[in-house]
Amino acid sequence: MKILVTGIAGFIGSHLAGRLAAQGETVIGIDNINDYYDVDLKYGRLADLGLQAAAGPAKIQSTRYPSLSFRKMDLTGADAVHALFAAEQFDLVVHLAAQAGVRYSLTNPQAYITSNIQGFLAVLEAIRAFPVRHLVYASSSSVYGLDSAQPFSEDSAADHPVSLYAATKRANELMAYSYSHLYGIPSTGLRFFTVYGPWGRPDMAPFLFTKAILEGRPIDVFNHGQMRRDFTYITDIVEGIVRVMDKAPGRAGPPVPEAAASSGAHSSTAGTPVPARIYNIGNGAPVSLLDFIHALEDELGLKARMNMLPPQAGDVPVTWADCGSLEAVTGCRPHTGIREGIRGFVAWYRRFYSRV
C-alpha cells in the first residue's frame, strides 16, 4: 500500500513511519517542522529515519528505508494538499499532524484552529476528492474532560472539554463522522492516553522531569501530585495504530450524492451504520504522578526536588482508558509497565543528549 503519514517529524509519526517502512510499505511523510518545541529534536527524528530534511518542499528519499520519503508541507495550504493527493493516489492516510499541548492552547488558541481544524479539513477534502481505503487520525484522551465515569469509555458523550486543544480534537471526531456519513469515507479516530518513550515531546512530564532532575533543578508538580495518568508506551501506541489500519469500518453503502446531501434528502442506505469508529489506546492502568516520579528517580539514581503547586487550568485529575473495544476488534492490548517504559525513555535520553 501507499500510505501518507502526516506529522512524520512528530513523536508518534516518526515511530509509526519507521515501523511501516521496515515492513516494506511505501510511506510518504509530511510535516511543516513548526517551532512549537525544539526543531533539532524533530530533525533528529527524521535523521533517525534516514531523512535529511531540506528547507523547501522537494521530495527527500530515505537513505535507511528505500520505500520512505518526506516532503516539508503545511496542511493549511489546501491547494498543495490537494495536489499531493492527486499525484500520489494514496491507499491509506494516517493523520497525526496537529498543534499539540493543553497548556499552550491557553496562550495561543489561534494555532489550534489553524492546525487542528483547518488542517484536518484540508485532509478530509482531499480524501473526498481522491478516496482512500481508510483514514486513521489522532484524537486524544483530553476529549473526556470533566466526564466522571472511570475508566473512560468511547460510549461517553465526551462533551465537556476543559481546554481548546481538547475541543479541537473532539471537533475532529465530529468532522470525520460527518464526512464518513456524507461521502462514505471509512475513518477511525484514536484517543491516545499520555504517550511517552524515546523521542518523546519535550513539553511533557517524562522529558521535563528527566531534564530537570539531571540538571539538579526542582520539578513543578501540579495539584500537589494528586493526579493519575494512564501512561502508554510508544511501541504500544504504534502497535495499536498498525492493527487499526487493517480494520477499516464497513461502508454504509454508496455515498450520499452531493446535491441530495446539501438539500437534506436521505439516501437509500439511511439507517445503515456510518463507517466511522473511535477507539481508546491506553495502558488501562493509571499511575499516580508521585509514583511515576519515584520510578524516574530510581532509574536516574537521583532524587527529585519537588515544587508542589496547585492545579493548572485545563488539567484533569485522572485519565484511565477502557481499551475493551480496541482489543475486541484488533486483538491489541497495550501492556508495557511504567518501569520498563521509563527505562527505555531514560536510556534514549542519555544517548541523545550524551549524558552518562
State yes or no: pLDDT of 257 exceeds 50: no
State yes or no: pLDDT of 261 exceeds 50: no
CATH label, 2-193+233-282+321-335, candidates 2.40.50.140, 3.30.70.1520, 3.40.50.720, 3.40.50.450: 3.40.50.720
Between 105 and 264, residue with greater pLDDT: 105
Strand partners, 140: 192
Between 27 and 147, residue with greater pLDDT: 27
pLDDT band with cut points at 50, 70 and 90 for residue 238:
very high
Q: N- to C-terminal Cα distance for the chain?
A: 42
pLDDT band with cut points at 50, 70 and 90 for residue 262:
very low
Strand partners, 136: 94, 188
Residue-level pLDDT at 355: 62
Residue-level pLDDT at 316: 80
Q: Model-level pTM? A: 0.92
Mean pLDDT over each residue of the chain, to the nearest integer: 91
Residue-level pLDDT at 54: 66
Rounded alpha-carbon distances, angstroms, from residue 40 to 34, 186, 211, 298, 355: 11, 36, 16, 28, 17
pLDDT band with cut points at 50, 70 and 90 for residue 269:
very low
pLDDT band with cut points at 50, 70 and 90 for residue 35:
very high
Residue-wise pLDDT for 320-343, tens only, equals 999 999 999 999 999 999 999 999
Q: Is 137 a catalytic residue?
A: no
In the predicted model, what is the mean pLDDT of residues 237-255? 83
State yes or no: pLDDT of 143 exceeds 60: yes
pLDDT band with cut points at 50, 70 and 90 for residue 119:
very high
Residue-level pLDDT at 111: 97
pLDDT band with cut points at 50, 70 and 90 for residue 61:
very high
State yes or no: pLDDT of 356 exceeds 70: no
State yes or no: pLDDT of 266 exceeds 50: no
State yes or no: pLDDT of 184 exceeds 70: yes
Nearest of 338, 275, 321 to residue 132 by alpha carbon: 275
pLDDT band with cut points at 50, 70 and 90 for residue 259:
very low
Catalytic residue among 165, 177, 179, 196: 165
Between 272 and 280, residue with greater pLDDT: 280
